[in-house]
């Protein structure tokens, strides 16, 4: 009837054959991410490092070299200039000025005096050392709290083996995100923390759906081996996984392309997170059930499965 099907209806892919390889690769990638984090490090934005960010728009194509020398002459320490979106928009970042909160404001006034009235000041952000320290702390705590909270939730809804699998695959997603930020040196600020938290939610969403099916199949097919159960569950959910990931990616790509420069870091993180999260729920979260040895301790009868006949 329905001839237009660009996804196969029934698949039978032996995911678990590749599980060892995938877990090994991911473990290596995670270690690399940690090493990169400690060597290359993250390019912290002013949210976490403190400092001043000014976005300006010039009347004609911006001469970044000339702007740089104008601002360097003010001797404000570390100064970064980059083109931002169009060739008329420039982002200026200066480090936290020594001598307290008042000096930050003086620096902004100096820059505005040096650049004059011909440029348009589109955005000015000053984050003092005190607030940036707090934001960094709160951001880290938020990510950890989110991971712990969902772990507790999974633990209540499933067995502990599932909780461990879910949290390890989540940590994998977060680590790889930090890894890509260390490699690409994209500015790491509060919106990125928001994106990471959303990834935590999204990636878990995927994992939970797969685990849900694994649990159901464990109850249904008591005789089957665990790897076969997992493979079967993954294949049953594959269409759903792909459809949902694609529709989420469509939304995100639209945001990335049309949503403006301000959101770009955030949407990039989310796109990366959806891809990594989809991969990890199939190749990390599921195989981890083999390691922890998931099984159903008591075959609890829940609604829907009550009169199940196999």
Shortest CB 248 distance to another protein, Å: 4
Single residue of 58, 83, 198, 235 touching another protein by CB under 8 A: 198
Single residue of 178, 270, 282, 285 touching another protein by CB under 8 A: 270
Q: Which stretch binds another protein (CB under 8 A): 15-23, 24-32, 62-70, 237-245?
A: 237-245
How far CA 15 is from CA of 19, 68, 120, 123, 238, in Å, comes to: 6, 53, 55, 49, 11
Q: Which stretch binds another protein (CB under 8 A): 27-35, 60-68, 124-132, 225-233?
A: 124-132
| 182 vs 217 by CB, closer to another protein | 217
Angle of helix 226-258 versus helix 264-280 axis, rounded to 10: 170
Single residue of 130, 222, 295, 301 touching another protein by CB under 8 A: 130
Residue 43 is inside which H or E element, if any?
A: strand 43-44
| 46 vs 67 by CB, closer to another protein | 46
246 binds another protein (CB under 8 A): yes
Site for another protein in 139-158 (CB under 8 A): 139, 141-142, 145-146, 149-150, 153-154, 157
67 binds another protein (CB under 8 A): no
101 binds another protein (CB under 8 A): yes
State the Rg of the chain over Cα. 25
What b-and-e string marks burial along 226-246, b requiring 16 or more CB atoms within 10 Å of the CB?
bbebbbbbbbbbbeebeebbe
Shortest CB 18 distance to another protein, Å: 23
Q: Which stretch binds another protein (CB under 8 A): 25-33, 95-103, 179-187, 291-299?
A: 95-103
248 binds another protein (CB under 8 A): yes
How far CA 286 is from CA of 16, 44, 151, 152, in Å, comes to: 9, 34, 16, 18
User: How far apart, in whole angstroms, are the C-alpha atoms of residue 271 and residue 209?
Assistant: 20
Residue 33, judged by CB atoms within 10 A of its CB (0-12, 13-18, 19+), counts as buried
The owner of tokens 């099984």 is: 295
Single residue of 44, 125, 186, 235 touching another protein by CB under 8 A: 125
* 259 token code pair: 């949503």
Residue 127 is inside which H or E element, if any?
A: strand 120-127
Shortest CB 297 distance to another protein, Å: 19
| 66 vs 310 by CB, closer to another protein | 310
Give the Cβ contact number of residue 38 at 10 Å. 9
263 binds another protein (CB under 8 A): yes
Q: Which stretch binds another protein (CB under 8 A): 63-71, 90-98, 253-261, 291-299?
A: 253-261
Single residue of 32, 40, 44, 57 touching another protein by CB under 8 A: 57
């Amino acid at each position: 009837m329905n001839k237009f099907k660009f996804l196969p209806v029934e698949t039978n892919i032996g995911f678990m054959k590749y599980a060892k390889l995938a877990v090994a690769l991911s473990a290596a990638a995670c270690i690399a991410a940690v090493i990169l984090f400690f060597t290359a490090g993250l390019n912290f934005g002013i949210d976490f490092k403190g400092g001043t960010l000014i976005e300006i728009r010039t009347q004609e194509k911006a001469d970044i070299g000339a702007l740089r020398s104008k601002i360097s002459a003010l001797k404000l320490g570390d100064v970064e200039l980059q083109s931002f979106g169009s060739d008329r928009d420039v982002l200026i970042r200066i480090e936290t000025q020594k001598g307290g909160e008042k000096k930050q404001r003086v620096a902004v006034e100096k820059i505005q005096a040096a650049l004059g009235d011909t440029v348009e000041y589109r955005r000015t952000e000053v984050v003092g050392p005190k607030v940036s320290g707090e934001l960094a702390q709160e951001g880290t705590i938020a990510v950890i709290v989110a991971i712990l909270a969902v772990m507790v939730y999974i633990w209540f809804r499933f067995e502990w083996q599932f909780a461990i699998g879910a949290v390890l695959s989540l940590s994998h997603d977060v680590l790889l995100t930090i890894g890509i930020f260390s490699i690409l040196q994209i500015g790491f600020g509060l919106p990125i923390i928001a994106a990471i938290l959303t990834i935590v939610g999204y990636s878990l969403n995927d994992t939970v759906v797969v685990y849900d099916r694994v649990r159901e199949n464990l109850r249904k097919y008591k005789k089957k081996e665990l790897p076969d159960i997992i493979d079967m569950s993954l294949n049953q959910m594959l269409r759903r996984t792909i459809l949902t990931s694609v529709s989420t990616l469509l939304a995100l790509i639209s945001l990335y392309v049309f949503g403006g420069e301000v959101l770009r870091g955030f949407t990039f993180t989310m796109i990366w997170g959806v891809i990594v999260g989809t991969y990890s729920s199939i190749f990390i979260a599921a195989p981890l059930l083999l390691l922890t040895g998931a099984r159903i301790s008591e075959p609890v009868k829940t609604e829907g499965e009550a009169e199940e006949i196999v």
